[in-house]
Structure 1
Amino acid sequence: MKKKLSLGIALLLGVSVLAAGCGEEKQAPKEQPQKTAALDMTGVKDGTYAADSSENEKLGHSHVELTIKNGAIEKVVHTSIDKEGKQKDEHYGEGKEPGAQKKAQNAYKAIVSYGEQLTASKDLAKVDAVSGATVSYDQFKEAVTKAVEQAKK
């Protein structure tokens, strides 16, 4: 009798564990990227306009030069300047530990892509942020917005 009772309890315990393991897994809601508002290009004048973002004490700032023609963005040059005042380039992060160097290079590639995306789409809302380079993305948007505001004066 004890054997049957022990076997029954073991079987019931096994079924309980299986049932709990098959339960629906709830994940934390994914953070949705913030949508960037479209730039208001109303009243912009043709020309080339430059602007800087605010400074990040660890990462530096962004600088953009926008060329506007016929009321649209024709060309974008985006550079990022580190906290020492040096332009980030294809060598950015060299000499750091491998993980930090890889992260720095991903950030540099993202910095380049932001200008390319805006030149191609002519719409800031269509520029996609790159994971790991969101500070640069925010700085890019800020500098572009400032340059467009200059073009309206």
Structure 2
Amino acid sequence: MKKTIGLGMAVFASLLLLTACGGDKKTNHSSSDKASSASSSMMEESSMMGSSDTAIANYTDGTYKVEAKEFDENGWKEHVELVIKDGKISEVTYDAVDKDGKLKTADATYKEKMEAGSKTYPEKYTKELADQLIKTQNVNEVEVVTGATHSSENFKKLAEEALMFAEKGETGTHTLDLGK
């Protein structure tokens, strides 16, 4: 970060010096216009170089839920519910429900079958994904859970949609077409 600032200041000083020493005599720009232009160029170069600082979204406190529009091919409808407190993600719930209202994380048979093949199961991977989102506060930094790739991708899509509503302050339950 210090190198980026130092480089930016050097670029700014060079641009300011070049602008002051040799300019187009036909235009009548004040030195503050030139400095402002050089400063804008420096900012653009700095942002193109890729700053480690990321813009933090402005979330409105509340509860935001997004659920899949349809049940998937296995009979589950996934959903994510986010609680925003003090502008940050404070709670995350990720699960799926079947047509009878039974939660995927509470289905012992599903857990047994999935754990045997994938070494993970809904109660485990939903918590891992939720914990990652709370820790990072950024859907793009949530890593896919091995053995639950499809569910991890759906989690990210649902959470991203919920955060979009959190930016607008539109609480409640919304739907998203996860496609097939």
TM-score, structure 1 normalization: 0.59
Q: How many residues align?
A: 113
Q: Is the 8 A contact 2:114 2:120 kept in 1?
A: no
Cα offsets for 1:53-84 (capped at 9, x unmatched):
35422262321111112322111111122466
Which structure is higher in helix share? 2
Gaps of 5+ in 1: 1-38
SS at match of 1:131: coil
Output aligned runs, 1:3-152, within 5 Å. 42-54=57-69, 55-58=71-74, 60-82=76-98, 85-89=101-105, 91-93=107-109, 100=114, 102-103=116-117, 106-108=120-122, 109-152=124-167
Amino acid at match of 1:107: Y
SS at match of 1:132: coil
Gaps of 5+ in 2: 1-53, 169-180
Cα offsets for 1:16-44 (capped at 9, x unmatched):
xxxxxxxxxxxxxxxxxxxxxxx976342
Residues 1:49 and 1:106: Cα distance change in structure 2 (over 3 Å): same
Distance 2:113 2:93 in 1: 28
In the TM superposition, structure 1's runs of 4+ consecutive aligned residues that sit over 4 Å from their partners are: 82-85, 98-101
Rg larger in structure: 1
